[in-house]
Amino acid sequence: MAKPSSNWKQYGPVLYIGAALAGGLLLQWAWTQSNRVETIPFSQFDELVTQNKVAEVSVGADRIEGVLKDPMPSGNKLFITDRVDAQLADKLGAHGVTVNGVPSGGLLMTLLSWIAPFVFFYFIWAFLIRGMAGRQGFGGLMTIGKSHAKVYMEADTKVTFADVAGVDEAKFELQEIVTFLKDPKKFGRLGARAPKGTLLVGPPGTGKTLIARAVAGEAGVPFFSISGSEFVEMFVGVGAARVRDLFEQARKAAPCIIFIDELDALGRSRASGGFGGQDEKEQTLDQLLSELDGFDPSSGVILLAATNRPDVLDPALLRSGRFDRQVLVDRPDQAGRLAILKVHAHKLRLASDVDFEQIAGMTIGFTGADIANLINEAAIAATRRDADAVALADFMAAIERLVAGAEKKSRVLGKEERRRVAYHEMGHALVAASLSGVDPVQKVSIVPRGIGALGYTMQRPTEDRFLLTESELVNRLAVLMGGRAAERLIFDGDISTGAADDLQRATELALDMVVKYGMDKVVGDRTYTAPSQGFIGLSRDNLYNAAELTGREIDLGVRRLIDDASKCAREILERRRDDLDRGSAILLEKETLTPAEFKPLQRLTPVAPDAGSTIDPVPLRVAS
């Protein structure tokens, strides 16, 4: 199982230096022994000096080395003795006492005296200084130009295409990469080559990283995984060095896969006049472009990258010959959500009432990561109530928590505030039940949730929609204004701040209708937004090429749409005043209400509109 580095390599320098010091001391000891140096007591040395038999000495701090004029009976002329206090030696010698010095520790103590301080200070540097530098983004001096890519083998990834659901089109395109890694001759038979680079594009949480790891797991090859932000440091040139090191490691491990997550952190479009950190990013990107031009996919190195911001990538990175293929990993449809639910729920103990078809229908717009979180929240909800299995009610509670937020039981509203919130939410619900083209009401509640919501009306779509008509968008505006219309109707025009989020969403929708979809007769059938390739919604800053007079017409068009929506909601609630009062009273009592508990919340069948009417008609009866 290959790994990019091991622990002993990190401490290689200190091991080498320590071994060299130990070897030197051993050589010194061996040289001393080979020269037959004899250790004698200090009293014998004192006697030899008195007898004038010592030719020369070298006096150290704790020992004396010397040469005798004539050899001793053992034949040695070289001697060594431990140094002691002279006055004490004279006194002891006067009484015939043999005096010996205390040894300094010998070879072992000598080795420790040299090596221990070195090892001590090295570990201080390794664990304190280098650790602080790593947290500050400097990294170790010995690894500053090394790639931080994590290498996984097939056994490490433990992910195959069977673990990836809801992105069948992306899996089909990436299956060709697996085929190339397993059988490269199959492509070369007709002169084809594998794509140099494949860019996975999609919103956050759709499984781009997971499917890249599944490619490596299916092919059974090393998988180099690194984030784009890990290439860039404060030192100029470090990012480029890491790119070179990454591709060098990959060539040695070929066939393999290089996966760069969050490519936009590395490959953002270059701007003129940059300096400092911008220069470092541009050098890193230039090095990546150079490596893409230089490596041959036939060598078995496949480059995968992922981003949710393709609109900010440098055009040079996306041209043919570098990233040849872009694969969309989008939010799953209902069949995809059903498959993802089954993949993530296989570890759960499920109750008999769990219907994945129903859950998939209520999770429109959820990504794979959202569904995985939903499964976990449902299991937590079942555990919290000490259940033996996860029931459908637990999944409903998890959806409610993810969509509306957690309940704030500590937030207690006053009597008048609760009454206002009840009318506000019932206004949303009754308008939604009265108009076509809007999502049906699932639940109405006045239980505070999330950060600032004092109540909520939950609407979930019943099917995947890819197109919306003008009338459907107008009706959705009316639903958003239903809460404030109810407050105006019940409280004699004394409105509150509770509609702030409704107004924000209504303004954004109306602005889209005017400047993006061309749905205003005065402004005309044209768009005033910059083209977007990303997954970011429209904002006011996206407006362009609009004259001052046109900008005023856009503002007036947005206001007209919202005013008409408010008028529509008011007319519906005036005609359904009895339902509004009864529903609000029941909601104050129960705090949570569903269409099954209050029939007027069910979708109603409208009558024919009046001549010249611009709004959906008010319903007369409950749909069968």
Q: Which positions are catalytic?
A: 425
Nearest alpha-carbon partner for 262 in 322, 304, 222: 304
Q: Are 456 and 449 in contact (CB under 8 A)?
A: yes
User: How would you classify residue 52: left for phi > 0, otherwise alpha for psi between -120 and 50, otherwise beta?
Assistant: left
Hey, what's the torsion of the CAs at 501, 502, 503, 509, to 10 degrees?
110
Nearest alpha-carbon partner for 333 in 429, 493, 189, 461: 461
Q: What's the rounded Cα separation, in Å, for the pair 345 and 322? A: 39
Q: What crossing angle do the helices spanning 577-590 and 482-490 adopt, rounded to 10°?
A: 100
Q: What's the rounded Cα separation, in Å, for the pair 120 and 580? A: 78
Task: Name every residue whose Cβ is closer than 8 Å to that of residue 582 and which is 6 or more positions away in sequence.
Answer: 598, 600
- The one-letter code for the residue type at 439 is D
Three-class secondary structure of residue 508 per DSSP = helix
Cα distance between the two ends of the chain: 64
Q: Are 79 and 36 in contact (CB under 8 A)?
A: no
Q: What's the rounded Cα separation, in Å, for the pair 38 and 78? A: 6
**For 246, phi and psi rounded to 5 degrees?**
-65, -50
- The one-letter code for the residue type at 56 is E
Q: What crossing angle do the helices spanning 368-384 and 392-404 adopt, rounded to 10°?
A: 120
Hey, what's the torsion of the CAs at 493, 498, 500, 506, to 10 degrees?
-70
Q: Are 263 and 199 in contact (CB under 8 A)?
A: yes
Q: Where are the alpha helices (DSSP H) in 435-576?
A: 470-480, 482-490, 500-515, 548-575
Write out the H or E segment, with its range, that includes residue 260. strand 256-261
Q: What's the rounded Cα separation, in Å, for the pair 324 and 326? A: 7
CA distances (Å), origin 291, targets 180, 322, 463, 499: 21, 9, 46, 54
Nearest alpha-carbon partner for 431 in 500, 495, 478, 491: 478
Q: What's the rounded Cα separation, in Å, for the pair 288 and 294? A: 10
- For tokens 């950060």, name the residue: 451
DSSP annotation of 142:
T
Q: Are 450 and 404 in contact (CB under 8 A)?
A: yes
